[in-house]
Amino acid sequence: MKPQQGLAMDLRQLTPDLAVSPQIAPEDVQRLADAGFKVLINNRPDAEITPDIDHKVFKDAAKAAGMEYHYLPFTPGQITPELISGFGQAISGEQPVFAYCRSGNRSTVLWALNQAGKLPETDILETAAKAGYDLSGLRPLLASLASNKG
């Protein structure tokens, strides 16, 4: 499914059921729901933004639009197993899923780390690159996570 058709946002499709993007506006949430997205994941920490676009605003917008909402704030350099598994849970339920952060990179990183051991490292990195995100620096972490799962 490619529900982004007709949307003016910078959506980047990672999988048929997962798109990521840079920061969106609260009024974009209804457009996402209208385009078919069922789940909204916010990976942007409130400390980076103003109160008019904090996680509570998006939680309310998602609820009003009938979307499931997950707030998984990812501060650069602070990846935790809980953050990775939380993202995995959020993308394994209802679909399609839309995730955002400042640039879309952190959402892509969380997807990539969640896929370690499920997909070959090269496929993960190529998928991210096709969406415009260079995650080559994650290769050692992807290998480590895959070996822990294997």
| Mean residue pLDDT across the chain | 93
How high is the pLDDT of residue 150?
Answer: 59
Quote the CA–CA distance of 131 and 150 in Å, as a whole number.
27
- DSSP per position, 1-28: --TTTT--S--EEEETTEEEES---TTH
Question: pLDDT exceeding 90 applies to what percent of the chain?
Answer: 89
Which domains are present in the chain? 12-149 (3.90.190.10)
Task: Give the tens place of pLDDT for each residue, 91-137.
Answer: 999 999 999 999 999 999 999 999 999 999 999 999 999 999 999 99
Q: Which residues pair with 98 in a beta bridge?
A: 19, 40
Note the pTM of the prediction, 2 decimals. Answer: 0.93
DSSP per-residue codes, 56-112: HHHHHHHHHHT-EEEE----TT---HHHHHHHHHHHSSSS-EEEE-SSSHHHHHHHH
- Cβ contact 39:68 at 8 Å: yes
Encoding tokens for residue 140?
């050692």
